[in-house]
Structure 1
Amino acid sequence: MALKNALIALMAPLPSYFFYTSFLNHYQNDQHLLSPLWNWCYRHPLILANILFFLNIDVGFWLISLLQSSNWMIDLYWTVIPVLLTHYFASYPDGQYNMWRSSAVVVLTWVWAIRLTHNYFRREKWQWGAREDWRFTDMAQQHGQNWWWVSFFGVYLIQQVFLFGVCVPLYIVHSVNKSINIWDVIALIICVCGIVYAYIADTELYTFVTKNEELKEEGKAMVPNLDKGLWYYSRHPNYFGEQLWWWGLAIFGWNLGGTWVFIGALINTLCLAYVTTLVEKRMLKQEYRAESYKMYQKTTSIWVPWFKSPQKEVLKEKDI
């Protein structure tokens, strides 16, 4: 099954790849049978990217999910699609951009994607498609027999809105040729901090979960709550790191005149805020950790880290 899922995941984006390659090879040939199509594609890079996403991801991945009764692949491709979009915009024939800024964004996007993909496989014990996101499983139970069509909108089409919203800066970076300035440096620093911060937080979480699994197998009491390292300063430092990355990327686009690019990062933040509430409700349903997590909620920031001195903790415990 793992090999089968790996082959499916590797072959899934090929239709878009072959179409785009054909476009690059023939868009200058006015005698080609499909020259009207290639000319249209040349004039509408964003629309073309959205059409390819809709047909290949929304429809294609959805059909695969119906055959497999699992929506596991969209989780993996959340880390891959930004890389594909980066190279799509960078290689577009009509692209205009500063080579240094483009190179920085391409490298940053690859580093971000490698980190997130590594975390995905580490979390899934290095298996392809072993399970789908628990949120999709819960939604499937809620919608019952209607899930087969609801999933198209609730899992795939909505991902297109979110992903293109946060990835618009990648398009702007490769459509405006402007000299490097201080805002590029600031954006780069924020993106790097976000990647590093999220990596440390996810590694601490992975270590915690692995240790608890070992304790459970040994029949010992599990540790109810992770409140060490970055998790000492906020309840979801991994989410905070991800937000730093997307807002840093948005600054790249804003610096080039895309004053509205923050909308994508804002929508993503609001969505993640909703996901955070679901995660915390799920934590509180686990009896062995409910009371400990309630205390954790009262003494620790939800996202943004802030210092907690021992004196403050003592005072808060007295108040509780």
Structure 2
Amino acid sequence: MALPNLHALEDCADFTKVVQPFIPQFYDLPARLLDVFAGRENFLQLYAETNPLISGFALSLALGAVFLVVAEINRNYSQVDRCWSLLPTLYIAHFDAWARLHGMPSQRIDAALIFSTIWSIRLTRNYWRKGGYNVGSEDYRWEIVRRNVPKAVFHVFNWTFISFLQSILLFLIAAPVYTVLLASTIEPDLTSADVAAMAVNLGLVLTEYIADEEQWAYQSAKKLYKDTGKATGGYERADLDRGFITSGLWGYSRHPNFAAEQSIWFVLYQWSCYATRTLYNWAGVGPSFLILLFQGSTWLTELITAGKYPEYVEYQRSVGMFTPKALSAYKTPGPKAPQIIRTSELAKRQQEKEKQQKQK
């Protein structure tokens, strides 16, 4: 049996009913895969008979091992980064394919796959144009972390977090679709709430796209300014001398793209909660861990940025990290007014100085 026999929507989110009974399949999977390689079992049959959550999780572990080996061989630790924009959509497509293979209603999963595919296209394009897929390209933050921790510690960090935990995370943020799949066995039709959730996530993807384009335009103008001394793209010299963007969405949030990214997967989780008529469920582990991950990575990013650009500290004080602090956009602080010192104050200071000298 690959799926539990459920009669209530609330049961679709019950860990003890929809996950725990299938854990033994995970332990049996290596032996069954060996049978497939030996020709004693058909792969499609194995795929159909294995719970889709278990097979998806097993794939994330296998990919983690691949990421680890490739990272250690190449001494390049952005292997997961190269697949980040693709894997969540791959896992959602896996749930969709599994449902179709069994003739199950898939309209609600199709809706999740539509927004996720558009999300993947946007993120993959942005990562590609920034050179992320170039040979030898690596997230600059990994190099900084490597320089500041012992070599052995960094390798343990790679063996655990960078390769495996990040790979598992990319599966877990897509895992809420499993509960939607189960709910579809009871409530198969696409509802207005499903359409609303998809629309919200498409709006968040659009927000990411706008933030990406604003950042790309600024960085392109900044590079040209460094090369030629010409301010282009509608930016003033002062804007480019500042070193970081503060216009558009970036005038209200220091990381509008990060804010939208976290919201996308939280909305998917809330979608699963609505589908199962629960306030919360086990599928929130992935989005919660993603939010925690963004807190740490954003802190490191800002620590580096504040060390490069003097005005960034003022920007941090005025603009929220993810959510706006004010209705008005950020404005570069003007020059400080000169301090006026009265003649009487100068005389008083001189008297105090002479008094101190006499006491010595």
Measured against the shorter chain, the TM-score band is 0.7 to 0.9
Counterpart selection for 1:78 from 66, 72, 84: 84
Mapped to 2, the partners of 1:239 and 1:311 lie a distance apart of 18
1:207 alignment partner in structure 2: 217
1:109 alignment partner in structure 2: 116
Q: Deviations along 1:133-171, whole A, 9 cap, x unmatched?
A: 122222322344323443121211111342222111222
Evaluate the alpha carbon distance shift between residue 130 and residue 231 of structure 1 in structure 2; reply closer, same or farther with a 3 A threshold: same
1:223 alignment partner in structure 2: 241
Counterpart selection for 1:281 from 297, 303, 306: 303
1:121 alignment partner in structure 2: 128
Question: Unaligned stretches of 5+ in structure 1?
Answer: 1-18, 27-31
CA contact (8 A) 2:91 2:171 kept: no
1:161-172 matches, within 5 Å, as: 161-172=168-179
Shift of 1:130: 3.9
Shift of 1:38: 5.2
Shift of 1:77: 0.5
Mapped to 1, the partners of 2:167 and 2:133 lie a distance apart of 25
2:263 alignment partner in structure 1: 244
Evaluate the alpha carbon distance shift between residue 40 and residue 283 of structure 1 in structure 2; reply closer, same or farther with a 3 A threshold: closer
Evaluate the alpha carbon distance shift between residue 41 and residue 235 of structure 1 in structure 2; reply closer, same or farther with a 3 A threshold: same
Spell out structure 1 runs of 4+ moving beyond 3 A.
35-41, 93-99, 142-145, 147-150, 219-222, 305-314
Shift of 1:307: 4.6
What is the TM-score with the length of structure 2 in the denominator?
0.70
Q: Deviations along 1:237-288, whole A, 9 cap, x unmatched?
A: 11111122112211221122263133322221121122111111011111xx
What is the TM-score with the length of structure 1 in the denominator?
0.78
Counterpart selection for 2:290 from 268, 281, 295: 268
1:309 alignment partner in structure 2: 328
Q: CA RMSD in A?
A: 3.2
Evaluate the alpha carbon distance shift between residue 38 and residue 276 of structure 1 in structure 2; reply closer, same or farther with a 3 A threshold: same
Evaluate the alpha carbon distance shift between residue 110 and residue 35 of structure 1 in structure 2; reply closer, same or farther with a 3 A threshold: closer
1:45 alignment partner in structure 2: 52
Aligned pairs, how many? Answer: 285
Counterpart selection for 2:203 from 193, 199, 202: 193
Opposite residue 294 of structure 1, the aligned amino acid is V
Shift of 1:208: 1.2
Counterpart selection for 2:140 from 127, 134, 137: 134
CA contact (8 A) 1:97 1:176 kept: no
Mapped to 2, the partners of 1:235 and 1:215 lie a distance apart of 23
CA contact (8 A) 1:82 1:109 kept: yes
CA contact (8 A) 2:318 2:325 kept: no
1:12 alignment partner in structure 2: none
Evaluate the alpha carbon distance shift between residue 185 and residue 68 of structure 1 in structure 2; reply closer, same or farther with a 3 A threshold: same
Please say which structure displays the higher CA radius of gyration: 2
CA contact (8 A) 1:202 1:238 kept: yes
Counterpart selection for 1:180 from 178, 190, 196: 190
Mapped to 1, the partners of 2:329 and 2:94 lie a distance apart of 51
CA contact (8 A) 1:165 1:265 kept: yes
